[in-house]
Structure 1
Amino acid sequence: MITLRSIVPKVVLLGKSAAAALFLTGIAADTFAQPSVALYPPLPPKDVFQQLEHFPDPLTRPEPVPVGAVAVVDLTRIVLKRPGQADWTRNYVTLAAVQYKNIGGVPMGAYLLTFCPADFRRREAVTYRRRIAEVLGKIDASLIPVSDRPRQRQILQASDEMFARIETGVDVPRDEIEAFARRMGPLVRANFDAMVIELQPSLDAATAEMRGVLKAGEWNQLRIVIGSHDGVLYAAQERYAYFKRLLGPGQEDRVSFVAPGGSASVFRQSPASRAFFGTVNVGREP
């Protein structure tokens, strides 16, 4: 069983090398991240509320690609893979969804940062606090509905208080950071729930378009692989349920998760994810 205590020594070692960035991101940082070492989930840069020039790319693909049609779905796009044919790809992410995700993920950045060496966490806390201040000034220009904007401010302001504590270089006690996660958990989950709702129409449209390009009989054989990493596992479970409903009763085996690194397997949740989201049961996870 993985515990916070068991991973701390590993995290400290990772923090002394370039591998720290990989631990904190879980995957390659998306194009919205600009800090010195990108933490997952990143805060948006200055212009993310105005335009979306690049789509984040957390897609991981199963290896090897199974025989027959496979649709790999993450929180931004669908990739349809068929033997002997070029991949069919459809992005369905929206800018509002990215804003919900990035802001909702900031407390996780604070949580993970507390496991890192003092110099590293002080430096990154300064970066985060500067960007939080920038984003707070842009909430009213965002695509997030007015009714949800107070929650964005609450998330960012509470995170800023934690980053201010981290910036001093003190070791934040484990019970304090765990209490922070419990307090922020409902707000973070609300943001990811809002992201899922925001993406529903575009996911419906992308799925319908994919079905339109399938050949006769392919839909009844299609396998769905939900690509995700730990930070968005909570939201990805909705994708899992969505496609199980579409495929119908008795077809559950045609939907599975793919773990980071590319192998379709049991998807295990990290302690950080559990701290904010609680236990997320997906696929065959025990």
Structure 2
Amino acid sequence: MPEGHTLHRLARLHQKRFGRKPVLVSSPQGRFDDGAAAVNGRVLRRADAWGKHLFHHYDGGHVVHIHLGLYGSFTEAPLPLDEPVGQVRMRMIGAEYGTDLRGPTVCEVIDAGAVDDVAARLGPDPLRPDADPARAWSRISKSRRTIGALLMDQTVIAGVGNVYRSELLFRHQIDPYRPGTEIDADEFAAMWRDLVELMKVGVRRGKIVVVRPEHDHGAPPYGPGRPRTYVYRRAGDPCRVCATPVRTAELEARNVFWCPTCQT
């Protein structure tokens, strides 16, 4: 599932390519016909994101709300676009570019009040300037759930997925099974600052970058099936710091990865 930096990057891209101009919106698949008709030809005032949710705000108060889920994706191309291929839920055509949306979990038209309702259900987003980490800390510090589970809970922190979760905990030497009540305030503050910076890099570069330069070497060499991470999807491989085999297990229905030596 795309993590929060991907949605913020898409929001910036759509703002640049479609913002402040009329946009032609259609639903070649047919499943979004009514929503497309409501915004077709209107000016896209702004695009923004909160966690894993993307919002296109149009003149007239209509907002297209998108959650990509596990399979959703946008494909962008200069005009003219080819005929739609596959199940295109939404097609947007601007002055110079077009984009097709396929496979989202959510693609709907809502109003500003419903946007507020979505945001109210989410925790602070590290990529938003108005994010209040104290809200997340309040939830974590009172919870006996594991920190590995809490970081993935979108009502605690919005936008963190499995990669950032596993890598952040490794970078701060925290076992994913430690309860939230056993994380101290300084540990959380350091993790939050690091998460903000890591996700900003993700927005700029379009990919997750988590390995520090001093550890960025082949152990084993990078390549297909060997991601450029400390622990994520590296089960059985030697830790890049201590060479202990990386472990994996299921934690609240998602696989978590960690080094049993470095993370305590």
TM bucket by the smaller chain? under 0.3
More strand by share: 2
Structure possessing the higher relative contact order (Cα contacts under 8 Å, 6 or more residues apart) = 1
Give the structure-2-normalised TM-score.
0.25
Give the structure-1-normalised TM-score.
0.24
